[in-house]
Structure 1
Amino acid sequence: MKIKLISPKMTLRPMDSEFKRVMSPSIALLILAALTPNEHELYIEDENVGKLNLEDKPDLVGISVNVDTSQRAYEISKHYRKQGIKVILGGIHASANSDEALAYADSVCIGEAEELWEQVIADVQTGNLKKKYYNDKPTNLANTPIPKWSLIDKSKYLYTNVVVTSRGCPFRCEFCYNSCEYVHNKFRNRPIEHVIEEVKALGTKQVMFIDDNFIGNIIWTKEFLRQIKPLYLKWHAAVSANLVQHLDLLDEMKESGCESLFIGFETINKASIESVSKYQNNIESYEKLIQEIHSRGIMVNASLVFGFDDDEDTVFEETLNWLVKNKIETMTAHILTPYPGTKIYQRLKSQSRIIDHEPTHYNTSYVVFSPNKMTQQQLYEGYLKIYEDFYSIKNIIKRLPNDRNQRIPYLLFNFVYRKFGKITSKIASFGLMNNLGKSARKLSYGID
């Protein structure tokens, strides 16, 4: 049987360059490829790095769906179904809105697919494809294989040195997909030896751990860091702000090669953080956490959200001043976006505050709901301005890290990726994306 897996083209925000689309491939699709029995022919097409071939005749098409790519995914599905080809949709949006997705496909896979995939294939072969597939218990991550990287052209991506060590998050913030009903609450880590095997197979000393929360299980993380010290890695990860309660873990991070941490601070407004059930964040300890991270020569990427019900239009200037004062190296900002299926979507919908239902606008750069303490225009313009001001040359200089070892990666990210990313990504689009990533690693850390 011939099986085709597809990643539809994602939308870009005003400050994004093509780097956003080609940052890294879909690990989920590469894992499904590794789980596919060898008797079948499987191939992957990513519309973010090239045009889809819609003239082929696979027996089964699987499409990964995010909210902003959903309309494109449904168009692709319609194209294949017209030819009698079976289509199954999966991914975070299809999982959270399975009835909607099913209107455009033959089947929907809800949640984690590893323990369902072989059954899906078998059902297609026998003509018994079910409408919905859902595993009512968390996937056993001991059975998750190494992604099948051989199926893609790595040269088209900026980074292919990405590894997942866990599933889920121990927290259920109401604006996050982890608040959806289909999500299993149990946080799980992969076996340490499996992760280390995958890291070694990458053939690079720089690794990005792309978990929802790398410190979801402190005991596991400590042991993992102890075991990777002999590998002499340079690594990056996303962690929750309660890391401030585990400074001994932060020491282990530094000793094992941590270079930067992505942290969901979300807001410096205490009332706002409490309003969305993000109880793991203690705003009073933010600056202590940043100081502790910086004192160990580690950079901080602050994730921020604007538009909470307790946010006024002064929040942008206050936040910018806070970011510059604390010399935050990089910032990723978002307009609060009530993703369909999340708790915050349900709340705002019940209050008749959802004002924009265009799926492509649900990429955190549009105001799709009625804000509480500012106008839609104030929220949108404030969001654009904080990006412009944060990445101004003046503020890039002001935020220059005290640690000299971090200055090259800092300047590369702030100038090459963010400030002038639209120019550099256009140059790198000529088959140079992966080479650019390797060059950045070499310049930043002296490693391949």
Structure 2
Amino acid sequence: MKIKLVQPKMSLRPMDSEFKRLMAPSLSLLVLAALTPKEHSVIIEDENANPLHLEDSPDLIGITVNVDTSNRAYQIAEYYRKKKVPVIVGGIHVSANPEEALQFADAVCIGEAENVWLQILTDVSIGQLKPKYYSMTMADPGKIPIPRWSLIPSRKYLYTNIIVASRGCPFKCEFCYNSCDYVHHQYRNRPIANVVEEIKLLKTKHVMFIDDNLIGDIAWTRAFLKEIKPLGLKWNAAVSANLINHLDLLDQMHESGCQSLFIGFESINEQSVQSVQKFQNKRQNYESLIDELHKRGIMVNASLVFGFDYDSPQVFQNTLDWLVKNKVETMTSHILTPYPGTVLYQRFFAEGRIIDFNLSHYNTSNVVFTPKQMTQEDLLKGYLWIYKEFYSFKNIFKRIPDHPKQKVPYILFNLFYRKFGKVTAKIAGFGFMNSIGRFARRLSYHIE
């Protein structure tokens, strides 16, 4: 069979550049391709990197769907269905909202695809594709294959040095898809040997772990960092704020080459954090965690959310002051977004507070619900204001890291990615995206 896997074009937020669309390819599609038996041919088309070729008629179309790409994904699905090409859709939004997706596709894959992909291919080959494929057991992390990197144009992407070392998250915050009914909540790590093998195959000394939470199993993380220390890597990852409870792990991170960590602080308002069941976050520990990371030369990317029920308009100024005072190197800000299928969406819908049902607006830069302590306009204005102020020349200067090894990556990110990202991305867009990434790594870490 001829199988075509599609990544629809992502939407951009006001502060985003094309760097967001071309940050990295869809790892899920690369893994699906690796799971496909050799007797089938597979192509991957990413609409973020190149226009889709819509004149073809493969034997199967597979589309990965996020909430803000869902409208475009369903357009693509309907186009191929009119040509009598069977279409299956999957991904986190489809898994949380399968009945919606079935209005536009022949079949949906609910949850992880590893256990059902071969059955899907068999059913397509005999003309008996079922409407729903739901893996009743979690995928064995030891059988996750190495992605088929050869199927994508690497030069188009900023990073092709990405790895997932685990599946899931041990927590169940209300605004996260992990609160959806379909999710298998058990956190699982891949075998350390498998991850190390994949790192070596990337042939680079800079690796980005894109797990939801690299420290979901502390014992595994300790063992893993011990194994990668001799590799001489520079690496980045996302972790939870309870890292402060494990200072020995912080030492291991530093010694094994950690350069920066993405941390979901979410809010500096304790009531806001607790209101969405994010109990692993303790507001009183935030400053200590940042200080311990800075002592070890590790930069902080703070993820923050605005619009919680305990947030008033003053939250924006308070948060900016806190970020600057603590010299937080980078910030990723979001308007609280109740993703359909989550506990938060169910609560807001029951309260009659959902005001916008256009899924393309669910990209964390639009107000799609009625806030409690501010107007919709206050929330949007505050969100745009804090981005502008945080990445102003004045505050970029105030936040320059004390640790000398982080000054160059700090300047590169704050100026050339955020402040002037749209200009840099246009230059990189002429087929130089991966070259820009390699150049930044050489400047920042003196590695390829």
State the TM bucket, normalised to the shorter chain. Answer: over 0.9
* 1:92-171 correspondence runs (5 A): 92-171=92-171
Looking at structure 1, the residues matched to 43 and 218 of structure 2 have their Cα atoms a distance apart, in angstroms, of 38
* 1:279-294 correspondence runs (5 A): 279-294=279-294
Looking at structure 1, the residues matched to 219 and 147 of structure 2 have their Cα atoms a distance apart, in angstroms, of 26
Alignment partner, residue 203 of structure 2: 203
Are 1:66 and 2:66 an aligned pair? yes
Identity %: 65
* Cα deviation code 1:279-323 (max 9, x no counterpart): 000000000000000000000000000000000000000000000
Query: Taking structure 1 as the reference length, what is the TM-score of the superposition?
Result: 1.00
Corresponding letter in the other structure for 1:330: T
Looking at structure 2, the residues matched to 158 and 140 of structure 1 have their Cα atoms a distance apart, in angstroms, of 30
Are 1:184 and 2:172 an aligned pair? no
* Cα deviation code 1:232-288 (max 9, x no counterpart): 000000000000000000000000000000000000001101100000000000000
Corresponding letter in the other structure for 2:20: K
Q: Secondary structure at the match of 1:355?
A: coil
Q: Secondary structure at the match of 1:214?
A: coil
* 1:12-411 correspondence runs (5 A): 12-411=12-411
Looking at structure 2, the residues matched to 72 and 384 of structure 1 have their Cα atoms a distance apart, in angstroms, of 26
Aligned residue pairs, count: 448
* Cα deviation code 1:354-391 (max 9, x no counterpart): 00011110000000000000000000000000000000
RMSD: 0.4
Q: Secondary structure at the match of 1:434?
A: helix
Looking at structure 1, the residues matched to 94 and 66 of structure 2 have their Cα atoms a distance apart, in angstroms, of 7
Deviation, structure 1 residue 127? 1.2
Corresponding letter in the other structure for 1:67: V
Deviation, structure 1 residue 435? 0.1
Looking at structure 2, the residues matched to 87 and 191 of structure 1 have their Cα atoms a distance apart, in angstroms, of 33
Deviation, structure 1 residue 115? 1.3
- For structure 1, the residue ranges without an aligned partner over 5 or more in a row are none
Deviation, structure 1 residue 57? 1.0
- For structure 2, the residue ranges without an aligned partner over 5 or more in a row are none
Between 1:123-132 and 1:22-31, the stretch displaced more is 123-132
Looking at structure 2, the residues matched to 69 and 152 of structure 1 have their Cα atoms a distance apart, in angstroms, of 20
Looking at structure 2, the residues matched to 245 and 404 of structure 1 have their Cα atoms a distance apart, in angstroms, of 26
Deviation, structure 1 residue 190? 0.2
Looking at structure 1, the residues matched to 307 and 88 of structure 2 have their Cα atoms a distance apart, in angstroms, of 35
Corresponding letter in the other structure for 1:300: V
Corresponding letter in the other structure for 1:229: K
Looking at structure 1, the residues matched to 65 and 269 of structure 2 have their Cα atoms a distance apart, in angstroms, of 33
Deviation, structure 1 residue 137? 1.5
Q: Secondary structure at the match of 1:44?
A: strand
Looking at structure 2, the residues matched to 156 and 54 of structure 1 have their Cα atoms a distance apart, in angstroms, of 20
Between 1:311-320 and 1:120-129, the stretch displaced more is 120-129
* 1:2-13 correspondence runs (5 A): 2-13=2-13
Looking at structure 2, the residues matched to 429 and 417 of structure 1 have their Cα atoms a distance apart, in angstroms, of 13
Looking at structure 1, the residues matched to 20 and 180 of structure 2 have their Cα atoms a distance apart, in angstroms, of 26
Deviation, structure 1 residue 19? 0.3
Q: Secondary structure at the match of 2:18?
A: coil
Query: Taking structure 2 as the reference length, what is the TM-score of the superposition?
Result: 1.00
Deviation, structure 1 residue 440? 0.2
Corresponding letter in the other structure for 2:244: V
Deviation, structure 1 residue 185? 1.1
Corresponding letter in the other structure for 1:252: Q
Q: Secondary structure at the match of 2:430?
A: coil
Q: Secondary structure at the match of 1:70?
A: helix
Corresponding letter in the other structure for 2:293: I
Q: Secondary structure at the match of 2:305?
A: strand
Corresponding letter in the other structure for 1:192: I
Deviation, structure 1 residue 128? 1.3
